[in-house]
Amino acid sequence: MTAEQELEVVASVFEHLLEPIKDINPDLLAKIADEVKLVPRHSGEDRWAVSKCLRRIAEFLEKTEYSKNGGIRA
Amino acid sequence: MSKLTEDLLSRILSPVDLVPYEKLIEIASVLQQSGDGEHWAAGEVIRRIAEIAHTIDTGRKQEPKSNDWDEIFTLEQEFGKIGNNVEFLLYGSVYTKTGDTAVKVNVPSAGNIIDMRDGPRTLVKIDPLDKEGD
C-alpha cells in the first residue's frame, strides 16, 4: 500500500466522521461543545474531552469552510 | 488532500483517547436525545469516533466468537479470500482473520479497511476481492 493510498483511507475516515455535521454552523457546534461540559452523570474529564473534541472539529469547520468547499477532497 | 489530513484527524481524536468507549457512547446518546438535528448530528460524530477508536484499540485482542466465524465463512463463499489473511467488506463492516484472531471493525466506505495486523492505527485499502480465492 502506497503512502498516497494510506492518506486516501485517512481522508475517508475523516469524511465519515464529519459527514453528520457537514451542514452545521461552526458557531453552533462550538456552543454544543460547551453544553457537553454540562452533561450530567459523567466525570468532568470525560465531558471535557468530548467537548474539546467537538470544539476542535468546529474550529476546523470554521477555518476551512469545510462544507462550502465540498469536503476534504476538494 | 495531504499529510495535513492525517494530522487533523489525529488532532481531533486525541482529546478522547483516554475516554472509555462506553462513556463516549453514553454522552453521544444524551446529545442525540436532545431533540434537535444539530445535537443529534454532534452526538453522531461522537458515536462514530467512539466506534472507530474502540474497534481499533481493542479489536486485535478480541477472541473470535463462534457466530463471527460463521459469518466469516459465509462471506468467504461470497467474496473469496486473500492469502492467509481473510478480509471482507460487507455493509460497512470488515472482518479480518489473522491467525487465531478475528475482529469486526466499522469502516467508512467500500474498499477501505482498518488493518489490525500492523498496529492499531495502520489503515489500508484493499483491492477488489478475488472471487476465485486462493
Which candidate in A5, A16, A21 is best for mutational testing of the B interface (most B CBs within 10 A)?
A: A16
Q: Look at the block and give the residue holding cell 464529519.
A: A18
ipTM confidence score: 0.80
**Contact residues on chain A for B116, CB-CB shorter than 8 A:** none
User: Under an 8 A CB cutoff, do A11 and B13 touch?
Assistant: no
Q: What is the DSSP string of B26-48?
A: HHHHHHHTSSSHHHHHHHHHHHH
- pTM exceeds 0.90 for this model: no
Q: State the cell numbers at B46.
A: 461522537
- Is some CB atom of chain A closer than 8 A to the CB atom of B13? yes
Which amino acid, residue A53?
C
- Is some CB atom of chain A closer than 8 A to the CB atom of B42? yes
Task: Tell me: do B69 and B97 sit in the same domain.
Answer: yes
Judged by phi (left if over 0) then psi (alpha if -120 to 50, else beta), residue B18 lies in alpha
Lowest mean pLDDT among A63-67, B58-62, B71-75, B85-89: B85-89
Domain count, chain B: 2
Domain hosting A29: range is 3-64
A1-51 pLDDT tens trace: 566 766 676 777 778 888 888 888 889 999 999 888 877 666 678 888 899
Task: Tell me: do B88 and B70 sit in the same domain.
Answer: yes
Task: Tell me: do B11 and B48 sit in the same domain.
Answer: yes
Assigned domain for B69 exists = yes
Q: Place B43 in a pLDDT band, splitting at 50, 70 and 90.
A: very high
Assigned domain for A73 exists = no
Among residues B60, B90, B108, which one ends one of the domains? B60
Which amino acid, residue B55?
T
Task: Tell me: do B56 and B77 sit in the same domain.
Answer: no
Domain hosting B48: range is 3-60
Sheet holding B93-98, edge to edge: B86-90, B93-98, B101-106
Phi and psi of A29, rounded to 5°?
-65, -40
Q: Which residue of B has its CA nearest to A1?
A: B124
Domain count, chain A: 1
- Please tell me the predicted confidence (pLDDT) of residue B124: 35
B74-100 pLDDT tens trace: 444 444 343 333 344 333 334 444 433
Q: Place A65 in a pLDDT band, splitting at 50, 70 and 90.
A: low
Task: Tell me: do B56 and B106 sit in the same domain.
Answer: no
CA distance B79 to B132: 8
Task: Tell me: do B51 and B69 sit in the same domain.
Answer: no
- Is some CB atom of chain A closer than 8 A to the CB atom of B110? no
Q: State the cell numbers at B56.
A: 481499533
Assigned domain for B132 exists = no
- Please tell me the predicted confidence (pLDDT) of residue B50: 85
Q: Which residue of B has its CA nearest to A33?
A: B42
Assigned domain for B131 exists = no
